[in-house]
Amino acid sequence: MTSSKEEILLKSRELIATEGLQSFNIRSLAKKCDLSIGSIYNYFENKTEILTETIASVWCDILNISHISDQPSNFLQEVETLFANLEKGNEKYPGFISFHSMSFFHHGKQEAQNQMEAAWKELKKYLYDILCQDDQISQTAFHASFTPEQLIDLIFSSLLSSILTHDFDCTGLLYVLKKVLYA
């Protein structure tokens, strides 16, 4: 029997991995946790909170960006890892990435849209922070017509494109980044 919010979120991720986000419901979650439906609500205020926290938990598992440290990082390696994590996440949670990315905008669920926008903003901030930590980047890489923020937007667009096309090969992007940033 499941006895904590973290364990319920783990079981939620397992359900999404095997059944898909579109099939996720409280009844199946309660069964997976060996709890009554009412007991699930001892840990969550309502169904929206369960779904919101579950989706956030899946994204955290996919992106695995909780390892940000104060140590300088290689930006290229971090971008490559991010694309690799998306690919692994797409395999672990089949259909989740594209379904979640597109479904909430289609259905107009404001709270879910806000959560998705917050997740994207956090991802951009993460990329920006890693970019700023990389002391190997050329001092001439950026200027008034090409800022770090614009670079992050370009990389983010590539990430979104990879989600939509299920093509997580970032070799070309890494080549361009190496030429622009480390020349």
CA distance 83 to 167: 9
* Residue 162 near residue 83 (C-beta atoms within 8 A): yes
CA distance 152 to 62: 19
Measure the N-to-C terminal CA separation of the chain; round to a whole number of Å: 56
Residues 6+ apart with CB under 8 A from 174: 76, 79, 80
Structure tokens at 181: 């940033």
Length in residues, the chain? 183
pTM flag (> 0.85): no
| Domains annotated on the chain, with CATH | 1-46 (1.10.10.60), 64-181 (no CATH)
What whole-number percentage of the chain has pLDDT above 90?
A: 54
Mean pLDDT value across residues 43-53: 87
| Residue 50 clears pLDDT 70, i.e. is over it | yes
pLDDT for res 13: 93
pLDDT for res 14: 94
Residues 6+ apart with CB under 8 A from 66: 60
* Residue 123 near residue 65 (C-beta atoms within 8 A): yes
Which tens digits make up the pLDDT trace of 64-87? Answer: 765 544 455 789 999 998 999 999
| Residue 106 clears pLDDT 90, i.e. is over it | no
Q: What does pLDDT average to over the chain?
A: 86
